[in-house]
Amino acid sequence: MISFIVTTYDLEDWLVRRCLSSIVTQGLARDEYEIIVVDDESNVSPQHIVDEFSTKADIALYRQKHSRQGAARNLGLRHARGSWIQFVDGDDYLFEGSVRPLLSSAQAYKLDLLMFGFRKVYGTGDWRCEKGHLERSLCHVPQSVISGNTYMSRHNLFGGCWLMLFRRQLLEAPQFGTPLRFTEGIYIEDEEFVTKLVWRSQRMAKVDVPVYAYYQRSDSTIHRCSTEHTDELFRNYFIVLNQLLDFEVFLTGRPHDGVTRKIRFLSVDILRRALREPDWRRRWEYSVHQLHLLGLYPLPDAGYSWRYSIFRLLCRCSIGRLALRLTENRMTT
């Protein structure tokens, strides 16, 4: 069974309906999946929408006092009964025909975790439009099966927990210590969770097919731009970095070069984010100071890629930083 954990917070009804419709029309039998909707204390409960789907699927709604997405996902995990987990944000959706071939590949190759791609969508996009393309693409053999640490040592790991189907036992496996859960009460909680989850995976693969539709809306958390929100976001970045550094120490004696790479690229992501802000000089100075305290700046000469090497060199002088600032602005406009 797959447990789809769907999180909602003050979403328009049509968004939640589209999300749930994309799950119930995947072609899975009713006993092959469950949907767990967790609402983070929306002004209006989505209970009426959940009720609409109760005749089509095993679906339940849980509401929590407003505690952000990490807490909502943890609540969903507490109620999940499936052997496989798939997170879906309530304003996003899955392209039709994607889940069954994903599950078949994961089972055929005895995977712990299977990653896939996403596509940014706008407006009232229809999950059904991709069906033929996905059915043809997902029947292909996934890329080589490797450990999560090996994958992270070779690739930049995107911190979205909704880009993977994974075995629930990865969260609870006793050899990894405490059960894995999201840090609550912060933004970008995915970054820590996904890094630890992928590292735990001994057999993982990736298919370069867009399975997940990532809806772009101006009022989402990632698009908020108030000074207060940005201040908190940067503080949260360093909370996550600290936790990943602690995790790196915990892994001493075990392969963890992939985690080290992730930490360094998250440092780069923080600096790039600083360069995109209107008050970028202040953000840059704050970020560099915090990274220096953690022993992460100056960026080490690790030879990961030519882009990393160029960024590492340019960020150390004022002219280089200005060039990087102009490049980042060009990329976001």
Residue 69 is part of a domain; what is its CATH number? 3.90.550.10
**Where a domain ends, among 221, 240, 272?**
221
**Where a domain ends, among 221, 243, 276?**
221
> Within this chain, do residues 140 and 197 fall inside the same structural domain, yes or no?
yes
Contact 129, 58 (CB under 8 A): no
> Within this chain, do residues 193 and 236 fall inside the same structural domain, yes or no?
no
> Residue 290 above 90 pLDDT?
yes
> Residue 21 above 90 pLDDT?
yes
> Within this chain, do residues 184 and 247 fall inside the same structural domain, yes or no?
no
Between 217 and 54, the higher pLDDT residue = 54
| Count of the separate structural domains present in the chain | 2
Full residue range of the structural domain in which residue 251 is found: 225-332
> Within this chain, do residues 47 and 178 fall inside the same structural domain, yes or no?
yes
Neighbour tally for 268: CB within 10 Å: 19
> Within this chain, do residues 96 and 239 fall inside the same structural domain, yes or no?
no
Q: What is the reported pLDDT for 137?
A: 56
Judged by average pLDDT, the poorest of 74-83, 88-97, 105-114, 171-180 is: 171-180
Q: pLDDT (tens digit, 9 = 90+) per residue, 138-168? A: 555 566 899 999 999 999 999 999 999 999 9
**Local confidence band at 132 (pLDDT 50, 70, 90 cut-offs):** very low
CA angle, corner 129, sides to 85 and 51, nearest 5? 50
**Where a domain ends, among 191, 221, 251?**
221
Whole-number average pLDDT of the chain? 91
Q: pLDDT (tens digit, 9 = 90+) per residue, 91-128? A: 999 998 889 989 998 999 999 999 999 999 987 766 56
Q: pLDDT (tens digit, 9 = 90+) per residue, 204-221? A: 999 888 899 999 876 555
Supply the pTM of this predicted model: 0.93
> Within this chain, do residues 251 and 295 fall inside the same structural domain, yes or no?
yes
Distance (Å) of CA 158 to CA 72, 92, 250: 21, 17, 22
> Within this chain, do residues 241 and 216 fall inside the same structural domain, yes or no?
no
